[in-house]
């Protein structure tokens, strides 16, 4: 081997090892406190639920304006194997979408018989009248029907299309992404259910 090559090879190896050594290890996927739609997508439980349910997520920076109060008519259509008894469970509630911004934020709240049963701030993506809303909810204690020591985080994702009259057709996917406080319940992580519903636009909504 020529003398110059003998000098160059160690130098090149030094550069390679230096670059590799300086690379920061990729952080593990988040299970809660998602800061963007991308963090939802990277979560393996959400990805698996997406694949198994067949739901379509819509991406893009130009989702339709959805602010309003809607009455829903639908049912649970698919679930993970643990929840098959939920299939055909009716989805009839009042759904409020508000605080939608041009930067991709939106808030939503759901109520049944004037009792608020869920709600979260989230993100919205989409194009050409189609949209996906990304949110999550942390639930714990007796009010959520859980033991006091147990906290469950669920991802709430809704994908659909805005129709000409303002109504929506949508599918929703709920995925348990994190279980804290009780080891016996950790196997709940990853269970999911999907519903399909028609959203009838009833009027304006500013949140409640």
Across 130-141, average pLDDT: 88
Q: Which two tokens stand for residue 59?
A: 């991406």
- The class (CATH top level) of 37-203 is mainly beta
The domain limits of the chain are 37-203
42 pLDDT tier (thresholds 50, 70, 90): very high
Q: Is the pLDDT of residue 179 over 60?
A: yes
Cite the DSSP H helix spans in 97-195: none
What confidence score (pLDDT) does residue 18 get? 42
- Give the pLDDT of residue 145: 66
| 27-31 own/partner pairs: CB under 8 Å, 24+ apart | 31/153, 31/177, 31/178, 31/189
Q: What pLDDT, on a 0 to 100 scale, did the predictor assign at position 69?
A: 95
Q: What is the pLDDT of residues 186-202, one digit of tens each?
A: 788 999 999 999 999 99
Model pTM?
Answer: 0.82
DSSP sequence for 35-84:
-SHHHHHH-HHHHHHHHHH-------B-PPP--EEEEEEEEEEEE-GGGG
> Residue 5's pLDDT is what?
44
pLDDT at 48: 96
Query: Beta partners for 98?
Result: 107
pLDDT digits (tens, 9 = 90+) for 77-124: 999 999 999 999 998 989 999 999 999 999 988 887 666 666 677 999
**SS3 at position 186:** helix
More confident call, 10 vs 36 = 36
**Tokens coding 186:** 């950790």
Residue 6 burial by Cβ neighbours in a 10 Å radius (0-12, 13-18, 19+): exposed
Instruction: Give the sign of the dihedral formed by CA 202, CA 158, CA 119, CA 101.
Output: negative
pLDDT confidence tier of residue 167, bands split at 50, 70 and 90: very high
Q: Tell me the CB-side half-sphere exposure of residue 178, using CA atoms within 13 A.
A: 19
């Amino acid at each position: 081997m020529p003398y110059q090559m003998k000098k160059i090879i160690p130098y090149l190896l030094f550069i390679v090892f230096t670059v590799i050594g300086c690379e920061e290890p990729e952080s593990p996927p988040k299970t809660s406190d998602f800061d963007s739609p991308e963090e939802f997508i990277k979560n393996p439980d959400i990805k698996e639920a997406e694949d198994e349910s067949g739901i379509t997520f819509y991406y893009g920076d130009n989702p339709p304006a959805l602010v309003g109060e809607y009455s829903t008519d639908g049912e649970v259509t698919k679930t993970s194997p643990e929840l098959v008894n939920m299939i055909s469970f009716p989805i009839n509630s009042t759904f409020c979408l508000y605080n939608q911004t041009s930067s991709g934020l939106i808030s939503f709240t759901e109520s049944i018989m004037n009792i608020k049963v869920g709600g979260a701030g989230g993100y919205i993506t989409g194009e050409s009248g189609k949209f996906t809303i990304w949110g999550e909810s942390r639930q714990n204690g007796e009010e959520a029907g859980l033991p006091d020591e147990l906290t469950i985080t669920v991802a709430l994702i809704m994908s659909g299309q805005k129709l000409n009259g303002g109504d929506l057709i949508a599918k929703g996917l709920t995925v348990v992404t994190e279980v804290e406080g009780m080891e016996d319940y950790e196997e709940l992580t990853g269970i999911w259910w999907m519903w399909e519903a028609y959203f009838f636009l009833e009027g304006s909504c500013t949140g409640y």
